[in-house]
Amino acid sequence: MTEKIYEIIIPLAVIIIGGIFLPKQVFKFFRELILFIFKSVLKFWYLSLLLLGITLFLKFNQYVKFENLEILLIIFSGILLITLINIIIVFQRKNRNPNIAFYGCYSIKEGEYLSNDIDSEILDDKTFKVVESISKNNFIYKNGFIETDFIYLPKFYTNVLGLKKLNKLISKRISKRHLASLHFVRNISEQTVYAHINFNNGQLANSEHINEETEIINDISSNSKINNNKKVELIVKIYCMIFSQSFNDFLLDSKMYKELHYVTDDNLKLLNSISSDFKELGLLGKYSEFIDFWNSSNFRYKSLSLFEQEEYSGSIDYVFKTIEINPYYPYRNYIELKQDYTKIYGSQLAPSIIGAKEMLDIDSNEDSINQSKSILESQSKYPSIPYTYIILELILRKKQSKEIRELIEKGFDNLDNENPFILLSKSETFKHMKKGKEKYNEIYVKRFDDCINILEKVKSLDSEFTLIRTKLGIMKVLKAMHNDDDKLLEEGMKEWKAGAHFIKELGLE
């Protein structure tokens, strides 16, 4: 009896004395390791029962002679094996579907290792509840297009890693199916939470958007005025919304139009929730571009989906909703768009520049121009995403009814006609909109004056948008060539050359 009491008291005494005299982090390590081993034994109870059965057999079988030390060694080896199996399962990732992972929240004090305290566990619970709610209500997650994965690394392991090594470990686990990861670190000294995001650039088209949203998430993380619970909730919503959007192109290309409508509706609801959070926190003005961008993105996909289903009236309606919210999609603002629009237009203009070198007084060879064209395309931020007005051009190629033309004209009339890019979009659309029957160079002849007048207004609104003069000059030259008007031809060439210096600025010379 006395021996059994000693067997209980001595380990307890070791733990207590160790807690007093051992370095805090060493004690934490052993405590968490023991807890992990105990949980592993409980988790794999069937293996533990098997190990117990083997131990009893060896202990009481008269035909098998094992010393107590040998039996203890077998027990220890069995427990070690069970623990290793649990560790392998924790670290192993075999997701069949694309997934985004959540690695929980960790606390850290300056100069100390990571820990999992009560506050970090509360934030873990908050993360789980927000993700669970989104997974139940968002089509992409609910139907398994993207899985949400909660990964709880062993505490004894993370406690000794330190923040840098933890971030490095999680970033290295990004793989083909593992689209992204999110974990939080609570700074105990500052009493604030920072989000850490990793994502797989190679698996995501136009990942530039995610880079931009990561900057917003970092900005929210560093805002000490936001309550930590609210901060975690808001960041998780943004994180889930971004990756839900990432499947829109897949659904569109797969002709899964009904599903695409479900997804865009769910994303709009999630965006409304994020917008309400921003409003509550007094941040709506600061992040209005973010909200406008993603709302316009959802409306644009609705428009594309309806176009593919030949519902042209509905498609036009969503085109103008998109332009009204964000005329510059896929960009956030006019300045960003203007820089890239010039590059894209320059690369598209390259073939005509090659054919008009003498007229434009450009001394360059075809190889040099083609090389510059490739460089411009590589510098473009979103080379694969067409501007919203292109959808209207696609509709007009499919159907040129009076109803369609009236819808488009009315749509542009209701927009801001003092916005240079809206006017440019209008000019580019009107070129293809039927007026009369005669066409010259794929442009309706009776639309020349409409487009010239619109471009003149764009030039007056933004005199620094250089290529507008080139576009205006081209339009006048085409009208002059059709009407055999030498005076207008000279005027058009003068306008063309006045804007043509952007060609040299882009390296197309």
pLDDT band at residue 356 using 50, 70 and 90 as cut-offs: low
Q: Give the model's pLDDT for residue 429.
A: 95
In this structure, the strands spanning 439-440 and 443-444 are: antiparallel
Q: Give the model's pLDDT for residue 109.
A: 78
Is 313 among the domain residues?
Answer: no
How many Cα atoms sit within 13 Å of 253 on the Cβ side?
5
Mean pLDDT of 86-114: 77
Among 154-158, 240-244, 445-449, 476-480, name the one with the lowest average pLDDT.
154-158
pLDDT band at residue 7 using 50, 70 and 90 as cut-offs: very low
How many Cα atoms sit within 13 Å of 256 on the Cβ side?
15
pLDDT band at residue 11 using 50, 70 and 90 as cut-offs: very low
Contact 148, 131 (CB under 8 A): yes
pLDDT band at residue 439 using 50, 70 and 90 as cut-offs: confident
Mean pLDDT estimate for the chain: 81
In this structure, the strands spanning 178-187 and 99-108 are: parallel
Last residue of a domain, one of 71, 91, 111: 91
Last residue of a domain, one of 91, 117, 142: 91
Residue identified by tokens 């060694």 is: 73
pLDDT at 466 over 90: no
What domain range is 73 assigned to?
2-91
DSSP state letters, 405-462 = HHHHHHHHHTS-TT-HHHHHHHHHHHTTS--SS-EETTEEGGGHHHHHHHHHHHHHH-
Task: Work out the end-to-end distance of the chain between its first and last CA atoms, rounded to an integer number of angstroms.
Answer: 97
| Alpha-helical regions (H) of 138-227 | 139-142, 155-161, 163-172, 208-221
Q: Are residues 106 and 207 in the same domain?
A: yes
| Count of residues in the chain | 509
Contact 502, 346 (CB under 8 A): yes
Is 375 among the domain residues?
Answer: yes
In whole angstroms, what is the distance from residue 301 CA to residue 261 CA?
Answer: 8
Structurally, the chain folds into a number of domains equal to 3
In whole angstroms, what is the distance from residue 114 CA to residue 341 CA?
Answer: 47
Of 123, 127, 415, 142, the C-alpha closest to 269 is: 142
Q: Give the model's pLDDT for residue 98.
A: 81
Q: Are residues 166 and 215 in the same domain?
A: yes
Q: Are residues 360 and 491 in the same domain?
A: yes
- The 10s digit of each residue's pLDDT in 496-507 is 877 666 655 555
Question: What is the longest distance spanned by two Cα atoms in the chain?
Answer: 118
Contact 322, 358 (CB under 8 A): no
Distance of CA 73 to the CA centre of its chain: 52
Contact 440, 478 (CB under 8 A): yes
In whole angstroms, what is the distance from residue 369 CA to residue 63 CA?
Answer: 90
Q: Are residues 459 and 360 in the same domain?
A: yes
Is 138 among the domain residues?
Answer: yes
SS3 282: coil
Q: What percent of the chain has pLDDT over 90?
A: 37
pLDDT at 426 over 70: yes
Q: Give the model's pLDDT for residue 22.
A: 47
pTM of the model: 0.80
Mean pLDDT of 310-335: 94
In whole angstroms, what is the distance from residue 243 CA to residue 99 CA?
Answer: 9
Contact 146, 179 (CB under 8 A): yes
Residue identified by tokens 């002679």 is: 65
Among 6-15, 109-118, 304-313, name the one with the lowest average pLDDT.
6-15
Q: Are residues 493 and 349 in the same domain?
A: yes
pLDDT at 215 over 80: yes
Q: Are residues 56 and 129 in the same domain?
A: no
- The 10s digit of each residue's pLDDT in 42-66 is 787 777 777 767 766 666 665 555 5
DSSP state letters, 448-500 = HHHHHHHHHHHHHH-TT-THHHHHHHHHHHHHHHHHT-HHHHHHHHHHHHHHT
Mean pLDDT of 197-207: 67
Q: Are residues 234 and 173 in the same domain?
A: yes
Q: Are residues 375 and 478 in the same domain?
A: yes
Q: Give the model's pLDDT for residue 4.
A: 43
Secondary structure element (H or E) that encloses residue 439, with its range: strand 439-440
Mean pLDDT of 334-351: 78
pLDDT at 15 over 50: no
Mean pLDDT of 365-390: 73
Of 473 and 374, the structure prediction assigns the larger pLDDT to 473
Long-range contacts: 471-474, Cβ < 8 Å, 24+?
471/424, 471/427, 471/499, 472/499, 473/497, 473/498, 473/499
Is 411 among the domain residues?
Answer: no
Q: Are residues 20 and 115 in the same domain?
A: no
Q: Say which amino acid occupies 232.
A: V
Most confident of 262-266, 334-338, 381-385: 262-266
In whole angstroms, what is the distance from residue 87 CA to residue 258 CA?
Answer: 42
Of 375 and 397, the structure prediction assigns the larger pLDDT to 397
Is 252 among the domain residues?
Answer: no
Q: Are residues 76 and 124 in the same domain?
A: no
Contact 426, 419 (CB under 8 A): no
Among 15-29, 32-46, 162-176, 313-327, name the one with the lowest average pLDDT.
15-29
| DSSP structural state of residue 112 | S
Last residue of a domain, one of 246, 264, 295: 246
Q: Give the model's pLDDT for residue 116.
A: 83
Q: What percent of the chain has pLDDT over 70?
A: 77
pLDDT at 40 over 90: no
Is 41 among the domain residues?
Answer: yes
E strands present in 95-250: 99-108, 114-115, 147-150, 178-187, 192-199
Of 206 and 381, the structure prediction assigns the larger pLDDT to 381
- The 10s digit of each residue's pLDDT in 253-302 is 999 999 999 999 999 999 999 999 999 999 999 999 899 999 999 999 99
Q: Give the model's pLDDT for residue 299.
A: 96
pLDDT band at residue 366 using 50, 70 and 90 as cut-offs: low
Contact 200, 172 (CB under 8 A): no
Q: What are phi and psi of 102, to 5 degrees?
A: -125, 120
pLDDT at 8 over 50: no
In whole angstroms, what is the distance from residue 193 CA to residue 178 CA?
Answer: 24
DSSP state letters, 8-65 = HHHHHHHHHHHHHHS-HHHHHHHHHHHHHHHHHHHHTHHHHHHHHHHHHHHHH-TT--
In whole angstroms, what is the distance from residue 342 CA to residue 6 CA?
Answer: 83
Contact 246, 100 (CB under 8 A): no
Is 438 among the domain residues?
Answer: yes
Among 9-13, 80-84, 376-380, name the one with the lowest average pLDDT.
9-13
Q: Are residues 223 and 338 in the same domain?
A: no
DSSP state letters, 308-347 = HTT-HHHHHHHHHHHHHH-TTTTSSSHHHHHHHHHHHHHH
Q: Say which amino acid occupies 289.
A: E
pLDDT band at residue 317 using 50, 70 and 90 as cut-offs: very high
Of 433, 461, 460, the C-alpha closest to 447 is: 433
Contact 354, 346 (CB under 8 A): no
Distance of CA 506 to the CA centre of its chain: 30
Q: Give the model's pLDDT for residue 20.
A: 47
Is 62 among the domain residues?
Answer: yes
Q: Are residues 171 and 28 in the same domain?
A: no
